[in-house]
Each structure stands twice: as C-alpha cells, then as structure tokens.
Amino acid sequence: MDILPAQEFPEITSRFSRKKLLLVFFIIIFLVIGIFIVAPFIAEPTSPPKEIFITNITDGQATITWSTDKPTKGTVKIQKDIYKDDGDKNKKSQGFYATHLVTIGALRPATSYNYEIYQGWRKVSEGSFTTAIILNSINNPNPVYGRVIDSSNRPQVGAIVYLTAKNQNGESALYSTLTNNEGRWQIDLANFRTRDLKAPFNLNTETVQEVVVQTGFRGKFKAATDMDNDQPWPDIIVN
C-alpha cells in the first residue's frame, strides 16, 4: 500500500479547515438572519385581554371585543381563518391598540364556534360563542349615533362603544362599534335582538339606551338617553 508523503498532510488538513470555516460562516449567517426574523415577534408587547365580550351576534356574524393595559396587536382565529382588528382591515400592517374589536363574518346560523385570541404569534385567550337563528322579520332601519370627546373637545379615536336597550319588556343583547377619527360612532337599532337572540327587540317610548365607552387608558365611562335624544346622542365626555 502506498503511503502519502508527509508533506501532503498539511494540505489535507488545510482543506478540512476551510470546510469547517465555511460551515461556521454559514451557521453564523443563518443565526443572524433568524434573529432578525424572530426578534420582532419576541419583542412585541403582550398584555392579558380583559373584559372579552361577544357582541353584534346575528345568524351570520359576531364581533369579539376586549381591552388591554398596554397597546398590543390583536387577531382572532376561528378554525383556519384569521381576522384582524377592524382598525387594521384596510392596512398592510397591524397596529398596536389598547381597545380591540374584531368582526367575524360568513358564519352559519345557530352554530357554535371556538375562537382564539392572538397577540402576534402568542395565543393569549380562547373561548366560544353561538350564532343566532334566522329571524322571520327585522325592525326598520333606525340608526343612532353620537360622539365621544374629552373635556377639551378632542375626539376619542378607537374607543369601543357598547350599547344596550332596556324597557319594561326586558333587555336587549349587547352591541358595539368603534369611534372613528372624529370620535363619532353609529349603531343601528334595527339589528337589536332580545337577550336570548331569538326575536327582534321591541323598542317603545319607554326604552332607555345605555352606553358604556371603553377608552383603554382612560378607563370606562357610562351614559344613557331616551328614544327622543339619540339622533344624535348627547356628546359623551371622558375625563
């Protein structure tokens, strides 16, 4: 058997060293790329969701709302579908909010659904809800609207407005919307159902409308009005 001359061993060793250096180099590159990809997700703020409500329930739609102590991203997953905050639906990237309202559509009547709430890639809560039955009739359109401002007349943008109606017949289900860039909001009373969602809610002159405004950092504020003072509502002032 031929034996390689001693002077050729350094060349072989050098080849192995170059391969090791290349391997280490590529490992470092992949690690750096991985850090840049993963770091933003790890660094994103999280905050436990509070006061999760299922609102605006119909036979084909529902709205999930919640608040957080600090601004976070917010998405809802139902089955394989992902739904973003309503404030992000026409945007390419997600924003960070302390109030979250996510509308879920294309649902089936009288069907139970499980949902999961995510902040970035982290699942932070889960629950379930059931859609309503199909009604034989609905009320005529009756939009009520108003404005949420602070004591300096500045609009409160992105606040959640919760609205219920009450009279001698009982209480309606819960409905919600977000204030726009002018602090304005609108909800159609025609969509109101009884608390069990089985019938339209009958409005009359004795009906009182009650609002809770969730502003996030400023907290919650309550207001009420009657059927004669809801187009528009008196301004809701938060301190």
Residue closest to 99 by CA, chosen among 168, 190, 160: 160
Alpha carbon 129 to chain centroid distance?
Answer: 16
**Which of 121-160 are b and which e, b meaning 16 or more Cβ less than 10 Å from the residue's Cβ?**
eeebbeeebebbeeeeeebeeeebebbbbeeeeebbbbbb
Domains and CATH numbers, the chain: 50-130 (2.60.40.10), 143-238 (2.60.40.1120)
C-beta atoms surrounding 207 within 10 Å: 19
Contact 239, 216 (CB under 8 A): no
**Which phi and psi (to 5°) does residue 88 adopt?**
-105, 0
In this predicted structure, the answer to whether residue 148 has a pLDDT above a threshold of 90 is yes
Tell me the pLDDT of the chain averaged across its residues.
89
Share above pLDDT 70 across residues of the chain, in percent, rounded to a whole number: 82
What angle (nearest 5°) sits at the alpha carbon of residue 61, between those of residues 59 and 67? Answer: 135
* CA–CA dist 64, 176 (Å, integer): 9
Q: Does residue 102 contact residue 93 with C-beta atoms inside 8 Å?
A: no
Share of the chain above pLDDT 90, in %: 76
pLDDT of residue 92: 85
Residue type at 222 in one-letter notation = K
Residues with Cβ within 8 Å of 83's Cβ and at least 6 positions away in sequence, in order, are 75, 76, 77, 102, 103, 104
Question: What are the tens digits of pLDDT across the range 111-143?
Answer: 999 999 999 999 999 999 999 999 998 889 999
pLDDT confidence of residue 146: 98
Return the structure tokens found at 222: 């309550």
44 pLDDT more than 80: no
Q: Say what the pLDDT of residue 24 is.
A: 64
For residue range 52-109, list pLDDT tens digits in order.
Answer: 999 999 999 999 999 999 999 999 999 999 999 999 988 888 999 999 999 999 999 9
pLDDT (0 to 100) of residue 11: 58
- pLDDT tens digits, 12-24: 556 657 666 666 6
Does the pLDDT at position 152 exceed 60?
yes
Confidence (pLDDT) at 21: 65
- Residue 135's pLDDT is 96
Q: If residue 26 lies in a helix (H) or strand (E), which one and from where to where?
A: helix 9-43
User: Which two tokens mark 205?
Assistant: 């002159």
Name the residue with higher pLDDT: 92 or 173: 173
Read off the pTM: 0.83
Q: Report pLDDT for 45.
A: 80
Distance CA 158, CA 98 (A): 9
**C-alpha distances in Å from residue 235, one per residue of 113, 185, 223, 231:** 37, 11, 9, 11
CA dihedral 62, 188, 210, 70 (to 10 degrees): 50
